[in-house]
Amino acid sequence: MIRAENLYFSYTGTPPYVLDGINLEIADGEYVSVVGENGCGKSTLMRLVLKLIKPTSGTIDTAADKIGYVPQKNDASSSNFPITVYELLNSYRKLLHRKDKSMIPRILDQVKMSGYEKALIGTLSGGQSQKVFIARALMGNPELLILDEPSNGVDLASQAEIYALLKKLNQENGITIVSVEHNLQAAIANSTQIYHLSEGRGHLCSPRRYANEFLKAKGRDDSIA
């Protein structure tokens, strides 16, 4: 689904690189969590996948025609924007040239947000607005869903709902998911693979192996069997 070869990126076009020779292959149907310290290049990698920025050198390609994107939640911009849940989704439906109006209540039901059509986005809780943004991303029937810290600013109960939904979308609908994560517990519990980025380089491993590496690095011996 996603293939990166000798991928280098720096915002100035010269070293030091934010991404320093990334080689990555994510297969169809995977649920990959991208983890790492702040500023290690997780969001930059996602922006490269989404073609919002261009690599300094190397290549990054995706086989998906339809990509859904759930950006990092920005309370400041969305809370002041005068738009209802229905207006937001309906605008996107029209941009997609989809005539079926019934898709809005159907998708809102899928993300457990039925009944919130008339609510202003700014009046929703962090978890509710995140579910609306996932609903918006799902309207284009994506093959690949990219999320940037989906649990950021979301209460624990809503986090559980969001991760259950993502897991369901991955396992039942076959949507490939790539999610930038700070929430290591959620990443280990839900992903099929973890991509760990550190100092511009990364490696892909199983959640179990990542958990053991993480515990070892923290000096704890209670590795997961």
Partner 1 sequence: MQNAFFVSVFISILCPCIGIFLVLRKYSMIGDTLSHSSLAGITMGLLCNQSPVLGAFVFTSVCGALIEFLRGYFKKHTDLILTIVFALSVGTAITIISSGKLHTNADAFMFGSILTVTNADKITVFILSIISVLAVLLLYHQLIYIAFDEEAAQVAGIKVKMINYIFSILVASAISVSIRIVGVLVLGSMIALPVATALQLGKGFRMTLICSVLFSIADIMLGLFISYYLNVAPGGFTALVSVAVLVSVIAVKKVGSAIKRAAVKAS
Binding residues (CB under 8 A) for partner 1: these are 50, 52, 67, 69, 71, 77-78, 81-84, 86-88, 91-92, 94-95, 118, 120, 140
CB of 86 to partner 1, least distance (A): 8
Cis amide prior to 15 (ω within 30 degrees): no
CB closer to partner 1 out of 23 and 84: 84
> In the complex with partner 1, which residue's Cβ is closer, 140 or 153?
140
Strand partners, 178: 32, 146
Smallest separation (angstroms) from partner 1 to the CB of 82? 4
Least separation, in Å, of the C-beta of 53 and partner 1?
10
In the bound state with partner 1, the residue whose beta carbon lies nearer, of 29 and 140, is 140
Buried b (16+ CB within 10 A) or exposed e, 151-169: bbebeeebbebbbebbbeb
Let me know: does 146 contact 170? Beta carbons within 8 Å.
Answer: no
- Output 50 or 204, the one with its CB closest to partner 1: 50
Distance between CA 1 and CA 63 in Å, rounded? 5
Q: Shortest Cβ distance from residue 136 to partner 1 (Å)?
A: 8
Matching residue, tokens 């491993």: 205
